[in-house]
Structure 1
Amino acid sequence: MIPSSSLFDQSTMITLIEQDPVVQDYRAFFSLLDWSLVDTWEQQRSSRGRPLTHPTSAYLKAFLLRLREGLIYSTQLRSFLLKHPLLIIDFNFELVYDPCAPYGFDAEKTLPCRYWFGEKLRTLDPALLQDVLHATVSALQAEIPGLGETVAFDVKHLYAWVKENNMRAYVSERFNKDQVLAGDPDCKLGVKRSTNQEQPDGSTKEKKELLWGYGSGVAAATTSDYGDVVLAEYTQPFNEADVTYFLPLYQQCALALHQFPTHITADAAFDAWYVYQRATIHGGIAAVPLNQHGHLIYERASDGVPLCPKKLRMHPTTQFNHTYGYRSQRFRCPLLFPQPTGTPCDHAQFAKGKGCVKDVNWEQGARMRISLDRTSPLFKSIYTQRTSCERINSQAKELGIEHPRVHNGRSVANLNTLIYVIINVRALSRAISINRGLLQMN
């Protein structure tokens, strides 16, 4: 209900709202989101006997405003809304009516306090936020043909809001990974960057840059005409390896697209057999640089069969289920299996009578990882699309993702999802504008 006051009646209030540029800007922005998802979620929650005060949609709009306006703290969000009371009405907060007030309600009493804004951010349902993000992907699919055929994966570091990340503050055990920080008990210590520094004697020493925080994994797609789109996101404490983000991101990506990506691309941190496996199942490739992870490099034939140190093609014997979850193939010395050939060999294992033995991951993805031609035009064209994640990360950084001013992991994750929603809404607005222009040309 539009309030009325001794100063403005309802018709005047409606006119003020319709003419306010800030209100109109946010109406246009919010019109690109599917609010029926929020209404349905809220109805289901209310039917379980949990009365709601302010609608969840009002809080979501307030948090999206906070990110768009670059407001770091809940106090700043509250102050902004108090300066724009027409937004409070339009966001559908439950108003505390006061006919003597200029706009017919008490804005100070209507808005939640700073603490409750923070508590509501922490307790937002992550599944609801993911549904809202997925809805933006569906809307983008309707505007961009072929979206999601190639998907790029990457992880961005985030600094937790703790004194341990402030190098000017004295902390006795700054990098003790076993401690639980008072400023944010959910954040973890991880390595942001590792470099080798040359010492005066010519040797090198590894230097690690550590931080307490989180990682924000993102799956993105790009097109030359429409730009970059977020397909999925996932937040974890910073002590988790980059490759652990892949499966959750891939699953969320498939749910959002209602199909599986054909091609995958990522940096060398994602060089794992199961990344290639997902691509090969669906007739594509995983454009990922080869990373031996410190293991010895041994030669393979073009079909993935290992060669012994004497460059001989080894003989396959038995297959078995490896403890790491993949099907493994054992290869033995070709001079001894399947029958001894009588040809001598000076290798130490041959002298022991058993010859060389290699147990090889024999899944399709593992064979693609080894046999993939990383100089081919197909590989290069797909790998260049990895930069879409870098551009998405740059947009997210401008929206404040790198330094979240909250004190727990749930709030960090929820803010991250809302940031990617904003990025997708901007992409959707751009796509609609481009398509409208194309229709007018025809």
Structure 2
Amino acid sequence: MPKQIHRKELIAIYRQQIIQDIRLFTSQPVAKFYDSLFLNLDLSFVQEYPKTGRKGFSNHAMICAFIVMKCEGFPMITDLVDYLNNNLLIAHYCGFDISLPLPSYWTFDRFLKDFDHSILSYIMQSQVLSLAADGIIDTSFIGLDSTPVSANTSQNNPKSFLSNKFQPDNQPKADKHCKLGVHTASNQTNEKKYEFYWGYKNHVLVDCISGLPIYEMTTTAEVADSTVALDILAGTHAFLPVTECTFLADKGYDVKKIYNQVKELYDGECIIPLNKRNTKNPKLLPQGNPICEAGLAMWKDGKFSDRNRTRQKFCCPLKSSKDADCPCHHKNFYNGKKHRGCTRYITIADDLRLSIDRNSRYFKSSYFLRTECERYNSRFKNTGQERMWVRNKSSVANLNTLAHISLLAVAIAAVTGNSGQSYRKLKSLKRTA
């Protein structure tokens, strides 16, 4: 009998030791991956604890925890809390004291809302400069694109059949900061599909060679992409020069001011498709003269300038004829005026926007590099950033920046560790760490 009791006690002791060994409950490649990730993450310039008041949790540990959240692709803070409590070794690598209770949901939520966003932006800038010093990031070819970020509101639910859910004056009660935006549901030029949503936009400037982010900005959803492009370029140039860059963007950025400032301020060039803005393409002769509805070649009738553009005027060839009649009986030919008939106006390509040959091989091969923006946006969405579960702009902006910091931290760890794996493949790095 005593021997049996002694054996049961030993089994209980062994079982307790197994439970206390946190390494047995965490995948070792994953734990090694996060250990390498945080060793190569420089947070020395971030104040760890407040100077006054309660000490609380370390800012370094909280930032590392959110990096874990984005690397695991968790959209909700509750997923992060459960993951850290079930993987204490990773919580230890983050910097938490695992002998004490870990932060609660409300602690993480309050950190996101109150933490200074400029500190996170500075962390991202230091990562970009580190990769630029290693020759990974370069500003020769840079692309700008925006990603829609849906707000945490029931009005974004596709199963909601409310008729007024996308009315501009019907502000969601759950998130007072979000705005109504629209994004295209297809990249095909001959398809006009679009969707409305309440939320935000994350504008990202990407190195189109390495496929890594350089600068980011979060705005509300109603902000047009072209209105923030020059601010993003100026913000990037402040810490990483973009002189002589090739700026790539889609037709949403086809604005004359962008072409001019990229050329004048940075001595660069723009590779942007022409946004025709509902203009019609008239039939032209090889000499450049348009053809009227009656099939006649129109005559030049002088030039004039307005709104910083020069336009060539073309008139009806029969406008001064006394006996001729319009073959198609155009209404303007019978208006009783001396100079009758239809007119056409063609803008003369005297600016940078219209002087680009968009059918050339150089333009097409350069614009093909912009696909790196789409690839990076896909990786950004995989971190759980396609829809927000926080409900204020400050939290959304901080979480967006933390997602970019996470992907840059993965790239730095891959380059520093010489693992042989691509720094773009997060899952492969976690498996083979």
Given the two structures, how large is their TM-score scaled by the length of structure 1?
0.70
How far, CA to CA, are the matches of 1:14 and 1:403 in structure 2? 33
**Residue 255 of structure 1: aligned partner:** 238
- 1:364-403 aligned at under 5 Å gives the runs 367-403=351-387
How far, CA to CA, are the matches of 2:192 and 2:268 in structure 1? 37
**CA shift for structure 1 position 286:** 0.7
Q: Is the 8 A contact 1:153 1:389 kept in 2?
A: yes
- 2:88 equivalent among 72, 81, 85: 85
**CA shift for structure 1 position 389:** 0.5
2:214 counterpart letter in structure 1: L
**CA shift for structure 1 position 425:** 2.4
- Are 2:410 and 1:410 aligned? no
Q: CA 1:295 to 1:27, structure 2 compared with 1: closer, same or farther past 3 Å? A: same
- 1:214 equivalent among 165, 184, 200: 200
- Are 2:77 and 1:74 aligned? yes
SS state of the match for residue 37, structure 1?
coil
**CA shift for structure 1 position 375:** 2.0
- Are 2:284 and 1:277 aligned? no
RMSD: 4.3
**Residue 128 of structure 1: aligned partner:** 119
- 1:138-177 aligned at under 5 Å gives the runs 138-144=129-135, 147-169=138-160, 171=162, 173-177=164-168
**Residue 421 of structure 1: aligned partner:** 405
For residues 393-439 of structure 1, what are the alpha-carbon distances to aligned partners after superposition, in whole Å with 9 as ceiling and x for unaligned?
A: 110111111122211222111111111122222333444466999xx
Q: CA 1:378 to 1:359, structure 2 compared with 1: closer, same or farther past 3 Å? A: closer
Which is greater in Rg? 2
For residues 287-322 of structure 1, what are the alpha-carbon distances to aligned partners after superposition, in whole Å with 9 as ceiling and x for unaligned?
A: 11111323567999xxxxx99x966495578x9xx6
**CA shift for structure 1 position 30:** 1.9
For residues 207-226 of structure 1, what are the alpha-carbon distances to aligned partners after superposition, in whole Å with 9 as ceiling and x for unaligned?
A: 64222222221111132xxx
**CA shift for structure 1 position 256:** 4.2
How far, CA to CA, are the matches of 1:130 and 1:90 in structure 2? 23
2:215 counterpart letter in structure 1: A
Question: Which structure 1 segments of 5+ residues have no match?
Answer: 1-7, 96-102, 196-203, 301-305, 323-327, 336-343, 438-442
- Are 2:200 and 1:192 aligned? no
Q: CA 1:141 to 1:208, structure 2 compared with 1: closer, same or farther past 3 Å? A: closer
How far, CA to CA, are the matches of 2:345 and 2:253 in structure 1? 24
Q: CA 1:79 to 1:436, structure 2 compared with 1: closer, same or farther past 3 Å? A: closer
- Are 2:62 and 1:38 aligned? no
**Residue 105 of structure 2: aligned partner:** 114
Task: Single out whichever of 385-394 and 112-121 deviates more from structure 2.
Answer: 112-121
2:144 counterpart letter in structure 1: F
1:271 counterpart letter in structure 2: D
**CA shift for structure 1 position 72:** 2.8
1:26 counterpart letter in structure 2: Y
Q: Is the 8 A contact 1:267 1:289 kept in 2?
A: yes
How far, CA to CA, are the matches of 1:425 and 1:311 in structure 2? 63
SS state of the match for residue 38, structure 1?
coil
For residues 89-141 of structure 1, what are the alpha-carbon distances to aligned partners after superposition, in whole Å with 9 as ceiling and x for unaligned?
A: 44334x5xxxxxxx6x32x2xx3321121111112211111111111111111
Q: Is the 8 A contact 2:183 2:194 kept in 1?
A: yes
**CA shift for structure 1 position 381:** 2.4
How far, CA to CA, are the matches of 1:255 and 1:371 in structure 2? 29
For residues 340-362 of structure 1, what are the alpha-carbon distances to aligned partners after superposition, in whole Å with 9 as ceiling and x for unaligned?
A: xxxx89999x968xxx9999899
